[in-house]
Every structure is written in C-alpha cells, then in structure tokens.
Structure 1
C-alpha cells in the first residue's frame, strides 16, 4: 500500500495582525490561524502571555523567514496594576503570595516612575517561557522547583500614568524586546512600599501593527469564508519598512536569484549606506534581502549587492506584493 501524501497546505505568504483574546496561548492562536487559512506554514512575531490580549502578528509562508529579524523591535503596552496583593505569577492567574492592602498615593507613584525609564535591570518572572537549564522556567516553577534567573538589561522608552482610581493604576509602556511588564509592575510597587500584580495586559503596538486595526479570529474566519483574505493580509516585507529598498534591473535580478553578487549603479542605492537592503525585482516587488557592500573596485561609480535571503514569492500569490 502506498504512503499517504501529506497535505502541505496552501502557499499563503504575508502577515496577519490578529487580536489575541485573553485565555489563549500564542501557539494556540497560530494553530487556529493556520487551520482557518489552511496556510502551509505559520509562526508568530512575539509571544503574548495567555492572560494578555492585544495585537499578535502572525507570519504565514515566506513571512516566517523574517521573524528572527523583527523580534528585536520595540513594543507598546497598556497595563492595569492592582495594588495591595501579589501573586506568584504576577498576574491574575496565580496564587496570592503576599497581601498588605497598601495603596500608594498618586503623587508617590508619579514621583517614582522616572526611576523606571531608560535602561533598567529586571529579573524575569519564574513563570515565564525562558529556558533554565534547558527547560522552560514555568515548568520548573509549577513543580515547585527553585528557579534562578539572572537579571537582564531592558529599556523603557516611555512610562506614563494614564489613570489611578481606587487601587488600580493604568500605565502605558513603550519598551524594548525582553521586557516583562509583570516584573515592571511588581518592581514599581516595591519601590513605593506596596505589593501589586497585573490584572490586565494589552499589547497596543508591535512590528508596526496596532491593536486597533488587528482582526479577531472570528473576523479572520469571516474573511476567509468570503474569500477576502487579501483584505487583511499584509505583504511579507511589511515588517521590514525600516530597511532601505533597492530595485534591480532584470539582468541583476536574474543573477542575484542564482546566488551571485551583482553590481548596481551608485544612483540606485543610498550612497553612504552599507548594510541590509530589501531587494525588489524589476516590477518593484519584494523578493530578497541583500547586503549592500562598498563600491566595486572595477566600477567606482557602482555598488555591490550580495544576496542574503531569497523569498519564494509568486507575484500573483497573496502577500507577494
């Protein structure tokens, strides 16, 4: 009996900005998106805790090749901090481990916030997906094992108190990759002599996508059923907008696709720039990442482009342009 051929799915390429509801893991969202779209390959652009909500970028097909590049980007959050008690997870899913009932004044909170802007040191929570001795930290924590995680440097670009009513403070945070908002909340509380934990966390911005324009899983399903996926599918290079683009001639594009270093006229490139470029085919469609090198010694008025990563995109496939 012959082997059954595995269904490889549909070659859909691009990004979806999904609004993750509380209660789902990021992996579960990826799986649901993949089932709904029948995409051959899918991944996400940055984990959200199960209790958290907000924008979760989902990469489909060739877009998954860009996730390693974009995870370094800054993110924006709105968090709701409840003072008076702390939980072992730092969020509403955990067990209460300390309770003092203390609530800081708004003046005390506003005075302390500047100390948590700029580059700061924080210890990630033991209930996190970080690997400790080859295993996820949260798995060790759930077994009651001691979890030792070293401090790390993160950057808080902006920290603003939006409102403070009763025991709930609402904060807007713009931060670097690797920042744990749960830890930030508990550290702020400790600095004002209180206990606290997050009761809600909303990711507002990441990778150029925002929560206001993100689509729910239900809305995605409706778009797919109506054959209107393209209305919510963003191009593969949507998350690479900060990288300069360079359009090649037909001859240069042909040779670059063969893995060859190609020559471009100086006027086609940023004259003083050296580094990664988004390479476009002659029609202006994204097709590769390249490295723009110094001038060609044999052609002083030109530059060299070295192929770094090729993307297999058909111009008539979703997300190719």
Structure 2
C-alpha cells in the first residue's frame, strides 16, 4: 500500500497585467518569471526579453492579457547603467571569461568623452559569441563554450545617449539609452578599442524599458514577503507598456465593433501605434494603427479580458 503523502497542486488563477520586477544578480530571466508566477499563482505568464543572469534590474513580466503586449516592451528602447573595467580584454567581454590582454590605463576625461561621442547615433555591432542569440536552435554561448566560433551578421543599432557617470583609474561607469538588440557588452569592448587600452563589462543594470523604469519595480524577496492580495495589487494594467503611445477613445458601439476586428473610420491622423479605449476610463481594448483615416486593430483584448481589467464580472 502506498502511504506516501499526495502532493497538493497549487491552484492557478487568471491574472491580467504587468509586474515590474527588479531581477537579482545570477538568476536567469525565465527562473525569475517562474518564481513570480508561482508567488502570484498565475495561469499564464511571460517575460519581455531576456536579461542576462549577470545583469540586474528591470524585467517586465506579463500575465494573462498582458502577454499580448510583451512584444511592445521587447521592441522598446532600453536604458542601462554599466560599469567597465578599463585595460582588460577577456574571452567573454565580461569578468567571467579568461583574460586575453592587459594594458596600462593612461587616459584623460577628454579622451573618454571623445570615444563616447564616436559611439552615439547609428552604429554597427556584431553580436558576441557569449550571447543567447540562437544558431540552428542552439544559443551562441553553447558553441563558444565548446570552442566553436560561428560567423554572425552585423546589425544596425542606435545609441541615443552615452554618458559618463563616474570615472576613477581603471573603472568607468556609463549610462546608455539604446534601441532594442543593442549588446552593452559589445559597446563596452568597442569603447575600450577606441580608447586603445581595451575594456570589459564588470556590472550591468537595466534601468528602463520604454515608458517603465526600475524605480517602479519590486525585488523577488520583497514580493515574497507580501500577502497574496498585496502581490496582486502590484500588477499594472497591460496598457502601462504602451503609455508613451497616443490614445484613441471610441464610443460604446464603435468599441464593440473594434473588438470584433472590424476596421473603423476615425477622425485621427495616421499613426503607426495607438492604444485604444472604450468610453469608460479603464476600458482598454487593445493596440492598433491609423492609416488613411482607418483604425486597424493589431492586438485585441477579448470582451471577458476587458471586463476583468475593469473589475466587472464577465457576462
């Protein structure tokens, strides 16, 4: 007779929204997601792009209807603070790899400013081998650990801002605001190359993604210390990821038709992205674009999701 106690399965529930998490050092983005999902007992969840285990900071997590807009955060501009060790070049571009070269650091503030200026604007990057970018279904870092180098196509990225936060001896801290797909590790190596002494990343923290910032985020430890209702209260509405998009509000009849996916005539200028609402203040309906006077749906909430986010039961 089997007398082993039966494991009680934690019941999951439908939650809709976005949790801004301050990811700790050493934890993968997926591990952080699974811990938060378990703490909230959520049915459906996803993150908005991988943050390296050796990086800390903002990781927006999407739940339920919020997952429909995770791509918005993935495509958004990002902001980071990065600490560089000057005078050192490693196999991985950070402190985890083997040191390949060491050089004396004899620089002026003006030299560093000039090098930063050369990296602002549109630049070309080659993704590092030690990255999660996939090649034939496997991340590049697996090939790198096996001593295999894969040819990677270069990509255009935009560095909107690159500023010195602190500099002393061989330690340089910078603030970066950049387009999606930018590798700050590669940016650090490029800066070291321009300075003539080499550089590698020693710390990285994501501070913003689109309209949301790490100041609004909570740590996993702090989340675990809360009651379940307090955790749920931290969920922001899905449209928080679209807060910097123009808003368009529809009447009740037009809102109902829009939710079916029908194109609507609107008195609005063409726009690549708009967030769409019904007549009630909280009635977020989804994302769309306006083209030649027509409102064309991109991502729609279901009527049940709209009602749930408004705090009213589905009919």
Question: Which residue, out of 43, 48, 64, partners 2:46?
Answer: 43
The Cα of 1:218 is off from its aligned counterpart by: 1.5
Distance 1:275 1:75 in 2: 20
Aligned residues: 301
Question: Which residue, out of 142, 148, 151, partners 1:145?
Answer: 148
Judge which range, 76-85 or 236-245, deviates more.
236-245
Q: Report the aligned-residue RMSD.
A: 2.3
Paired residue secondary structure (1:107)? helix
Q: Which residue of 2 aligns with 1:298?
A: none
The Cα of 1:306 is off from its aligned counterpart by: 3.6
Compared with structure 1, are the counterparts of its residues 76 and 307 closer, same or farther at alpha carbon in structure 2 (3 Å cutoff)?
Answer: closer
Q: Which runs of 5+ in 1 are unaligned?
A: 1-5, 296-303
TM-score, reference length from structure 2: 0.87
Q: Which residue of 2 aligns with 1:278?
A: 275
Compared with structure 1, are the counterparts of its residues 18 and 103 closer, same or farther at alpha carbon in structure 2 (3 Å cutoff)?
Answer: farther
Q: Which residue of 2 aligns with 1:315?
A: 307
TM-score, reference length from structure 1: 0.86
Q: Which runs of 5+ in 2 are unaligned?
A: 1-8
The Cα of 1:58 is off from its aligned counterpart by: 0.8
Paired residue secondary structure (2:288)? strand
- Give CA deviations for 1:107-156 in whole Å, capped at 9, x if unaligned: 32122211111111121110001122442111111111122112211111
Distance 1:11 1:278 in 2: 23
Question: Which residue, out of 237, 240, 263, partners 1:238?
Answer: 240
The Cα of 1:36 is off from its aligned counterpart by: 0.9
The Cα of 1:248 is off from its aligned counterpart by: 2.1
Compared with structure 1, are the counterparts of its residues 319 and 27 closer, same or farther at alpha carbon in structure 2 (3 Å cutoff)?
Answer: farther
Compared with structure 1, are the counterparts of its residues 55 and 249 closer, same or farther at alpha carbon in structure 2 (3 Å cutoff)?
Answer: same
Paired residue secondary structure (2:131)? coil
Distance 2:242 2:276 in 1: 11
- Give CA deviations for 1:56-103 in whole Å, capped at 9, x if unaligned: 111111111111233221111111100122221111222222223445
